[in-house]
Amino acid sequence: MTDKLKETFTKCKAEGRNAFVTFVTAGYPKPESTVGILKGMEAGGVDIIELGLPFSDPIGDGPTIQSSNTIALKNGVTTAQTLDLLREARKAGLRIPVVLMGYYNPILMYGEEKFVKDAKDAGANGFIVVDFPPEEALKFRKFCTAEGMSYIPLVAPATSESRLKLLASIADSFIYVVSRMGTTGALGSLSSDLPALCARVRKYCGETPIAVGFGVSKREHFLSVGEIADGVVIGSKLVSIIGEAKLEDAPEVTKKFCSEICGRTGLESTTREVGIIESIAKATTAKEATPSAVITEGDPKAELATNFLNGVVVEEEKSRKFPARFGVYGGQYVPESLFDCLIELERGFEEAVNDPTFWEEYRSYYPYMGRPSNLHAAPRLSEYAGGAKIWLKREDLNHTGSHKINNALGQILIARRLGKTEVIAETGAGQHGVATATCAAKFNMKCTIYMGAEDVRRQALNVFRMKLLGAQVVAIEAGTRTLRDAVNEALRAWVTNLSTTHYIIGSAIGPHPYPTIVRTFQSVIGKETKEQFYEINGKLPDAVVACVGGGSNSVGMFFPFAEDKSVKLLGVEAGGEGVDTPRHSATITGGSVGVLHGVKTYVLQNEDGQISDTHSVSAGLDYPGVGPELSMWKDTGRAQFIAATDPQALEGFKLLSQLEGIIPALESSHAVYGAIQLAKTMTPDQNIVICLSGRGDKDVESVAEALPKLGPEIGWDLRF
C-alpha cells in the first residue's frame, strides 16, 4: 500500500508534472454521494485522494471542513461506515491511492491496530492523523509498517529544525506540508514564505516527495505550488463546490473542477496499461523507485527511524521540569502548527516559575486580587447537615468574583515575558472571561473572549462586564453553542496568530503545559486552605470538596493535599438531568478515556469516539472533558467523584443562600450539595472545607429561569 503512493509520485515525476491530491469528508454531503465523488476525482485527473474521517471537534480545520464533518455526522457516518464507503468505491473501480485523514479520538475508540488492518482490507493506502504527538505516532507507525501501510507526517511553517528532522525520519511515502499557519480553508493568495518552507523541508527529507496544502484553491495556485513541490493538495475549495452542487450533480461537478485545476483528466492514466512512460521512469529514476519488498519491523531502516524517534521522545521528557503526562493522561494531541508554540510556552513557564522575581511580581498583585481569600466556618450549614463541621474557602470574594483571577493574572505575566501583545480566552460561565478581560485591561493588552452563544444568553451580565472592560466577545453559534465550542474556536484563533497572541486557557484542560500551568497558579487555593485551617485548628481538615467541570478550582484545592492521605478529596460533577440520561456533564462519573482539545483524559463520547453534547444548569460545568490530573486521581483512587443533578445543585444554591447569607455560583452549588451529603456520613469532630469557587450574582437570572421547572422537585417556590 505504501508502494502504491510511492509509485504514484514516481510516475508523476516521470511525466513531468505534479501529483494532484484532493480531499473530501466521507459521507458529505450524503453517504450515497461519496463513491461517485471519489470516482469523479479520479476521472478529473486526481492522483491521490484524502478521505476525511468525520470528527465532532476538528480543531485544526476551518469552517468549511468543520461544517462538512458536522453534516457527515448528522448523516450518521461512523468510522466503520467510512471504511465501507471506501470498500464500495474500490468495488466500483476506484484505482488511485486513498489516504485516510482525521483525528486521533475516533481511531483510538475503534482500536488502532484493528483500524489499520480494517483500513487496509477496505482499500486504503495510508494515514494522516492531524493531532498525533511523537510517542503516539511511533506506536501507530509500527502498526502501519506491519501492514505495509504508509504513515504521512504533517509539517507546518512553525515546525522547528529538530522536529522537522524527526518528522522527515518517519515519512515513508510523502510529507504533507502545511503552507501557512492557521486552520484549513481556501484563500485568494498564497504565502510568500512557501518557497523557503519547502526548501527547509527538502533539507531533511531528501528524495521523499512533499505535497503542499492549506489555502490552495485555483489553477494558478496549483501551477505556482507545483514549481516548488512534488504534489499539490486542494481540500476546502473542493468541499465548498461539492456542497453548492445539486446532490445528483456532485460527481460531475467534482470531475469538472479537478480537470480544470490540473489541466488533464484521469482517463488516460487510470485506464491504459503500463506503457513507455512508466518503463522509462523505472529505468531512469531508480532512486525514487519503490522496492517490491515492504519494510518490516526487523528492517534496519525501520529500526533506525524508530530508534531516532524514541531518542527524541526520551530527550524531550528529560529536558522537562514538569512531566507532560499524569500516568497515561495528558500529552500534546494537537495539530503540527501548535507544537513549537507549546514548546515556547513550556520553556517560558519553566523559566518563570524558577525565577524568584516572577513570584515576587505575582504576589505583589495579591492586594489587587484579594488574596489571601478568607476561610471561615459555616455553622448553620453544618447544623443543617447534622454531621461534620463545614468550612468555606471564599474564592468568591476575589476580585472579579471567582478563583479565575489566580490563573488569568499568572498567565498574562508569562505572556508579557514571552513578548505577546494580545490574549484570547474561552469562557463558559463568563468568570474566566471577566478575569482575563480584567487582567488585559490592567496590563494594556488586546483581549478577545470566545463564548458559546447559549452561554452568552444565560450569562448576559458577564458578557456586559467583559465588554465594559474593553474586551471583544465572540459568540459561537456552532455545535452545542457552549464551552466546548468556545474552546474549539479559541484554539483555531490561536493557531492563526501564534506570534502575537497567548491563549489563556481557564481550566486544567488542553495540551501540556496548560494543565500544569493552571494547577500551579490555582494551587494557591489549597496552600492557603492548608495553612489557614492548621493555624485555626492545629490540624488538617478531614475532607476538601470542590465542583468539577474542567477542573481548575478542584485541582487547585486538591493538589496541595495530594500527599496528605488522611484528607479525603471529593469532586462534585454536574449530573444535569441524571447520569443515566444523555443530558449531563459528569465526565469522570459517566465518561471514558479519549482525546479532546489536545489532551488524553476522561471525556463524554459515543462508541465511535464522537464527543457528546452535554448539559448542566451551570454554564461553567457544561463541558465534556476534565483535567488529566483529576483523571489520574480517579484511577488511583486518591480522589472520589460524585455527580449532583440540576435540582440538587439548586438545593445547594438555596441552602447556602438562606442559611449563611452567601449566594454561591451555580458551579459552587454542586460542591455545596456534595459536601452536605458527605458531612451527614461524618462525625461532629470532623471537618470539611468547601472551595466556594465563585459568587452567584451572575446566576440569579438562570436560577429564576430554572425554578418553575426544577423548584417543585426541591420544594422551592419564589413566585410572588
Q: Which residues are catalytic?
A: 50, 61
Q: Cα 91 to the chain's mean position, in Å?
A: 36
Residues 6+ apart with CB under 8 A from 428: 451, 452, 455, 459, 482, 483, 486, 549, 619, 620, 621, 622, 623
Query: How many angstroms separate the CA atoms of 196 and 13, rounded?
Result: 22
Three-state DSSP class for 125? coil
CB atoms within 10 A of CB 94: 19
What grid cell was written down for 325? Answer: 503526562
Alpha helix ranges (H) inside 559-600 = 587-590
Strand partners, 394: 692
Note whether 251 and 268 are within 8 A (CB): no
User: Nearest to residue 425, comparing CAs of 469, 496, 375, 487?
Assistant: 487
DSSP annotation of 605: B
- For residue 695, what are the CA distances in angstroms to 52, 481, 666, 669? 44, 24, 8, 10
DSSP state letters, 430-479: SHHHHHHHHHHHHTT-EEEEEEEHHHHHHTHHHHHHHHHTT-EEEEE-ST
CB atoms within 10 A of CB 52: 26
Give the CB-side neighbour count of residue 19, counting CA atoms within 13 A. 31
Residue written as cell 513541490? 229
Q: Cα 412 to the chain's mean position, in Å?
A: 21
What grid cell was written down for 234? Answer: 486542494
Alpha helix ranges (H) inside 509-612 = 514-522, 524-537, 552-558, 587-590
Query: How many angstroms separate the CA atoms of 480 and 542, rounded?
Result: 39
Q: Beta strands of 578-663 (E only): which ranges? A: 592-596, 599-603, 639-645
User: Nearest to residue 243, comparing CAs of 100, 56, 70?
Assistant: 70
Q: Is the peptide bond between 372 and the residue preceding it cis, with omega within 30 degrees of 0?
A: yes
What grid cell was written down for 651? Answer: 438545593
Note whether 527 and 534 are within 8 A (CB): no
Note whether 608 and 615 are within 8 A (CB): no
What grid cell was written down for 666? Answer: 451555580
Query: How many angstroms separate the CA atoms of 505 and 426, rounded?
Result: 7
Q: Cα 572 to the chain's mean position, in Å?
A: 23
